[in-house]
Amino acid sequence: MSTNRRDFIKFVVAGSVAAGCPVDLSLFAAETGSAPAVDGEDNKICHQVRDGKVFSRPAVSARHDVVIVGGGVSGLSAAYLLRHRDFLLLEKEPHWGGNAYIMEFQGNAYATGSAFLEKSENTFSFAREIGLEPLPINNWDGSILKGEFIPDFWGEGLNHLPYPAMVREGFKRFKKEMLAIDMQKRRTELFSVPFTNFLKGYPEEIKQWWDNYGPSNWGVASDDSAAALPVYELQNTWLADKQDERYTWPGGLGAITRKLAEILHPKFAERMQAGATIVAVVPGKSDVQVTYMQGTELKTVAAKAVIMATPKFITRRIVEGIPEKQSDAMHQIRYIPYPVVNLIFDKPVFNKGYDTWCPGNTFTDFIVADWTIRNQPGYQQKYNILSCYTPMHEEDRGYLLTEISARKIAQNVLRDFQKLFPGSNVDPVEVHIYRRGHPLYMSTPKLFTEIQPLVRQAMDRVFFANTDSEGPVSTTSGGIAAAQRAVKEAEDRLAGKPAPKRTAVVAG
């Protein structure tokens, strides 16, 4: 494609990068008496918040049973479970959904984050409970290697890898030996050591494949990944005799947050405040005071209990009095920057597989947005929307800060896609990049076994939801499980029971 033709493609940049910036600049201006010279993504002010800048806190203007901070799937689920109570749900973005947020192009849904669930996860039954019937994917993932699409990569695909016979045999031996590992017996070890320990003696191509797969799913390549995750994936997801038990909707798991918002909003509009950024959560003896900025106004509300459904890198900055060890544990959780680039074509370009892995490119995999409905009677695919997952290294976070560099990332994804396979050199009608600075925590060794159990311990009246409380991998199910636990803890506290000393919930 010539540069001129590319100039006609519309690139849309969306999403907030400074997710960890609980601040409104107008407040800062009011305090200093000078006009703000920077915009909301300026690190100078974020760093002041991080470094403990104290905001003025107006008098309490309202009281609630429970204030829920953060309107991703975890916060929305908590609100749904507390709908019999006087709750207040606060979210800094103008929309609900967090990392499970759906968008549309001319009525066609596509994902900006969370993609699919497994039948064994709690999200499956939760979705049904709220009136969403999960749609089967029924298609084992393929990979594109050397321009060739290999369907059912870890199944029949291993017989057709475009590699020398020795490498193909290496893949098969690797699979066999990973399936033979006793996960129950070796659980502690597997969660404590990096996956690279298990890759020695195998062809380099296997590491390359996992170094592509890991960052997309659990935020890290083999060197930094707890070994349990790929071993679990092989044993439980890709067993030859197993059905694909993954489900989703067009636009991915954002369908769940959209549905939750649709259920709650008509009844509780007053108690669901978007565009409300929390700057301080201060526990007292008989209540917790929550201060937030909405527009240019600072407000303080009081609650008998607060559920923090925000990620821990923000939470530890805004909740006062978190015990030092717990705050340190929160600080140890690392997060990758992770934009999703949607390529919107007005003709069919790729419909061969649901989620296709593409080692050696700027993106790791891409998903066909309308996969689950493409064969429904009467459905006609007007736009072939491909969601390209583009996990990045921590040190590259800064590239998402400006529109120019974010657009460059999208252009690189398009460039790589157009070279991917014969027939992929097609111009999209639009390219959409949704950028997020810290959306996916990294499933590093010991995170699940040592750090997360400490992170989620309840305070007296403050309870910790969000998927990063659970583990072992960032999932929508983890967010829902965290909400279920935090709501139970809050209900117990409202009923006068003391907060439990330890919590031990594992995402379903």
Ligand X SMILES: Cc1cc2nc3c(=O)[nH]c(=O)nc-3n(C[C@H](O)[C@H](O)[C@H](O)COP(=O)(O)OP(=O)(O)OC[C@H]3O[C@@H](n4cnc5c(N)ncnc54)[C@H](O)[C@@H]3O)c2cc1C
Window of 32-40, 102-110, 170-178, 471-479 that interacts with ligand X by CB under 6 A: 471-479
Per-residue binding string, ligand X, 474-493, x by CB under 6 A, is: xxxxxx--------------
329 and 455 Cβ atoms separated by less than 8 Å: yes
105 and 383 Cβ atoms separated by less than 8 Å: yes
Number of shown-chain residues binding ligand X (CB under 6 A)? 41
Q: At its nearest, how many Å lie between ligand X and the CB of residue 369? A: 13
For ligand X, the closer CB: 261 or 340: 340
For ligand X, the closer CB: 92 or 259: 92
Which DSSP string do the residues of 477-508 spell out, in sequence order?
HHHHHHHHHHHHHHHHHHTTPPPPS-------
Within 108-137, the residues that bind ligand X by CB under 6 A are 113-117
Window of 24-32, 69-77, 192-200, 231-239 that interacts with ligand X by CB under 6 A: 69-77
Among 28, 126, 366, 389, binds ligand X (CB under 6 A): 389
Cα–Cα distance, 350 to 386 (Å, whole number): 8
Q: At its nearest, how many Å lie between ligand X and the CB of residue 285? A: 24
For ligand X, the closer CB: 161 or 343: 343
341 and 408 Cβ atoms separated by less than 8 Å: no
Q: At its nearest, how many Å lie between ligand X and the CB of residue 435? A: 11
Q: At its nearest, how many Å lie between ligand X and the CB of residue 275? A: 9
Within 330-359, the residues that bind ligand X by CB under 6 A are 338, 340
Cα–Cα distance, 141 to 117 (Å, whole number): 14
For ligand X, the closer CB: 386 or 440: 440
Q: What angle do helix axes 254-268 and 122-129 make, rounded to 10 degrees?
A: 40
Q: At its nearest, how many Å lie between ligand X and the CB of residue 3? A: 29
Q: Is 292 exposed, middle or buried (0-12, 13-18, 19+ CB in 10 A)?
A: buried
Q: At its nearest, how many Å lie between ligand X and the CB of residue 49? A: 9
Verify binding: residue 250, ligand X, rule CB under 6 A: no
Verify binding: residue 73, ligand X, rule CB under 6 A: yes
Verify binding: residue 72, ligand X, rule CB under 6 A: yes
Verify binding: residue 15, ligand X, rule CB under 6 A: no
Token couple for 262: 């649709």
Q: Is 228 exposed, middle or buried (0-12, 13-18, 19+ CB in 10 A)?
A: buried
Cα–Cα distance, 294 to 274 (Å, whole number): 8
Q: At its nearest, how many Å lie between ligand X and the CB of residue 92? A: 4
Q: At its nearest, how many Å lie between ligand X and the CB of residue 377? A: 27
Closest C-alpha among 172, 191, 171 to residue 231: 191
Cα–Cα distance, 249 to 370 (Å, whole number): 8
Among 11, 13, 15, 22, binds ligand X (CB under 6 A): 22
Per-residue binding string, ligand X, 74-103, x by CB under 6 A, is: xx--------------xxxx----xxx---
CA distances to 48, 215, 259, 355 from 152, rounded to whole Å, are 50, 20, 32, 10
Verify binding: residue 300, ligand X, rule CB under 6 A: no
CA 410 to chain CA centroid, Å, is 19
Closest C-alpha among 479, 488, 492, 462 to residue 67: 462
For ligand X, the closer CB: 192 or 294: 294
Task: List contacts with ligand X (CB under 6 A).
Answer: 19, 22, 69-75, 90-93, 98-100, 113-117, 253, 277-278, 309-311, 314, 338, 340, 389, 439-440, 466-467, 474-479
